[in-house]
């Protein structure tokens, strides 16, 4: 709770605003500081060039007039520039003593709290000094720095205002999603103090939505259990009464045909009910190392009677050492529904299951699937023709009553993260081939 309270003090808009403003502030301050340093450096170079040029000009002008200094040279060349000339015997009284110790050439000297740029050259029998006092220049440089700082502050404030508008625009989809989820899952937040934090508001709304979905799934599982229990009893009675009525000597052929249809329909409803019940109760389940050959054998044994009655020959061609880490029950559900589909719509024919890398191929050599039906082979309740419109005892064409078998198989694969698809590659004979590909189980932390 402490971490949530601390993180709720600043909204997502505020954090985005501060982040963008900080980036702009760093960039603007870096540019202003660079401009200030460049201005300062260029000013010092200009002063050096000015002092050097002026010293050379005066030396070339004055030296040819005499070979010795008869009197010192002292002159103010401008508000900040001074010139002196002297020899060992003729001294300039106003010349600062610190300048006499400087070597010939250009020098910078800090004296009396000021920065001096001094150029010393030999002239006649002594030396010539030109000095520039940078006091006024430093004041201008400081003014320039303050101006750059003011400009930086103006841009930072402007950046803050723009960043805040941009942050509100960027966070608007999160606010909209939060409001949408809140309408789906109304209720009070479980964590207080989230009014200013859009991220935690979204997390809280999502958690409430997830709780509602979990509750709905639990209700669905409970409903499927109750429905399965309530419907299974009446279906058993219907099938039993139909079996008894069929065996009655007084039954005529038309009544017997209709009773057989009732029995067959009851079996189909029971199978679909059982499959949907297990699918509703299923999740990813427990993973274990499974021998695919043994798993296919178990399915074939359980469906051997129905397959034999419809003359569907089952062939297990899975490699003996083919093992995968997966949910055994869900794999058997997928295989059982595909085999059941082949019993209903492909028999009499051969049905084979063989190994591929990280998967299985399940194929038969029955009538096959028409190009018009193949895109809908996994659709729920898809039918190309009405079964009750067919002549009596006529076996329906391949996938004419697709029902729920393949849809349930595909749904089970989706829960596990597997892939079940119809093999669209050209085949030498008729029939249908399904490719079942496994994905590695999720890693547990």
pLDDT in tens, 175-202: 777 777 766 666 555 544 455 666 666 6
Residue that finishes a domain, picked among 250, 281, 312: 281
User: Mean pLDDT for the chain?
Assistant: 79
Which of residues 425 and 420 earns the better pLDDT score? 420
pTM: 0.47
Is residue 308 domain-shared with residue 439, that is, in the same domain? yes
- Work out the pLDDT band at 4, boundaries 50, 70, 90: very low
Q: Which residue has the higher pLDDT, 403 or 335?
A: 335
User: Same structural domain for residues 135 and 26?
Assistant: yes
Residue 384 has pLDDT above 60, yes or no: no
Judge if 203 and 175 occupy the same domain. Answer: no
Same domain, 266 and 228: yes
Tokens 């002008």 correspond to 61
Domain end position, chosen among 184, 204, 232: 184
17 and 158 housed in the same domain:
yes
Q: Are residues 265 and 288 in the same domain?
A: no
Average pLDDT over residues 365-384: 76
In angstroms, rounded to a whole number, what is the distance separating the alpha carbons of residues 318 and 294? 9
Q: Is residue 139 domain-shared with residue 225, that is, in the same domain?
A: no
Q: Are residues 265 and 124 in the same domain?
A: no
Q: What is the DSSP letter of 350?
A: E
User: Which H/E stretch holds residue 129?
Assistant: strand 126-133
Percent of the chain whose pLDDT exceeds 70: 77
Question: Which of residues 150, 184, 218 is at a domain's end?
Answer: 184
Q: In the predicted model, is pLDDT for residue 400 greater than 50?
A: no
Looking at the structure, do residues 67 and 203 belong to the same domain, yes or no? Answer: no
Say which residue, 211 or 2, is predicted with more confidence.
211
Instruction: Find the CATH number of the domain harbouring 425.
Output: 3.30.565.10
Contact 108, 92 (CB under 8 A): no
Distance CA 436, CA 418 (A): 7
269 pLDDT exceeds 70? yes
Residues 275 and 310 in one domain: no
pLDDT surpasses 70 at 244: yes
Can you give the pLDDT at residue 233? 78
Question: Residue 207: which domain range?
Answer: 188-281
The CA distance from 291 to 323, in Å, is 5
Rounded CA Rg of the chain: 47
Report how many domains make up the chain: 3
How many residues does the structure list for the chain?
A: 445
Same domain? For 67 and 88 the reply is yes
Range list of H helices, 282-310 = 292-302, 304-309
Rounded Cα distance between 402 and 432, Å, is 14
- CATH number of residue 271's parent domain: 1.10.287
């Amino acid at each position: 709770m402490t971490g949530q309270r601390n993180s709720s003090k600043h909204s997502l808009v505020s954090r985005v605003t501060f982040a963008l403003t900080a980036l702009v502030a760093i960039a603007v301050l870096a540019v202003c500081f660079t401009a200030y340093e460049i201005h300062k450096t260029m000013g010092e170079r200009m002063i050096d060039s000015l002092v050097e040029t002026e010293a050379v000009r005066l030396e070339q002008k004055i030296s040819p007039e005499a070979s010795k200094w008869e009197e010192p040279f002292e002159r103010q060349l401008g508000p900040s520039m001074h010139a002196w000339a002297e020899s060992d015997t003729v001294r300039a009284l106003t010349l600062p003593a610190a300048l006499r110790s400087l070597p010939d050439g250009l020098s910078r000297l800090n004296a009396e709290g000021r920065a001096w740029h001094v150029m010393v050259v030999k002239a006649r029998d002594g030396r010539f000094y030109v000095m520039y006092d940078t006091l006024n220049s430093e004041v201008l440089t400081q003014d320039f720095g303050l101006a750059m700082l003011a400009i930086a502050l103006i841009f930072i404030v402007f950046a803050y205002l723009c960043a805040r508008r941009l942050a509100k625009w960027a966070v608007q989809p999160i606010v909209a999603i939060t409001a949408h989820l809140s309408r789906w899952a109304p209720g009070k937040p479980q964590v207080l103090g989230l009014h200013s934090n859009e991220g935690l508001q979204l997390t809280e709304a999502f958690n409430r939505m997830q709780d509602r979905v979990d509750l709905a799934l639990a209700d669905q599982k409970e409903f499927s259990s109750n429905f399965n229990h309530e419907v299974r009893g009446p279906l058993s009675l219907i099938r039993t009464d139909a079996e008894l009525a069929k065996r009655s000597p007084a039954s005529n052929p038309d009544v017997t045909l209709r009773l057989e249809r009732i029995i067959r329909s009851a079996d189909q409803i029971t199978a679909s009910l059982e499959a949907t019940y297990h699918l509703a109760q299923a999740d990813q389940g427990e993973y274990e190392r499974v021998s695919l050959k043994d798993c296919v054998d178990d399915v074939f044994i359980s469906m051997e009677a129905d397959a034999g009655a419809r003359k569907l020959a089952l062939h297990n061609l899975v490699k003996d050492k083919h093992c995968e880490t997966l949910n055994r029950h869900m794999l058997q559900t997928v295989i059982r529904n595909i085999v059941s589909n082949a019993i209903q719509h492909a028999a009499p024919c051969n049905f084979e299951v063989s190994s591929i890398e990280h998967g299985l191929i399940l194929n038969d050599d029955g009538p096959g699937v028409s190009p018009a039906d193949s895109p809908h082979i996994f659709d729920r309740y898809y039918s190309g023709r009405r079964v009750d419109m067919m002549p009596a005892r006529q076996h329906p064409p391949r996938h004419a009553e697709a029902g729920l078998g393949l849809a349930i198989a595909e749904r089970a694969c989706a829960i596990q993260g597997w892939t079940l698809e119809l093999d669209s590659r050209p085949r030498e004979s008729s029939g249908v081939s399904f490719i079942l590909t496994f994905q590695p189980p999720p890693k547990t932390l």
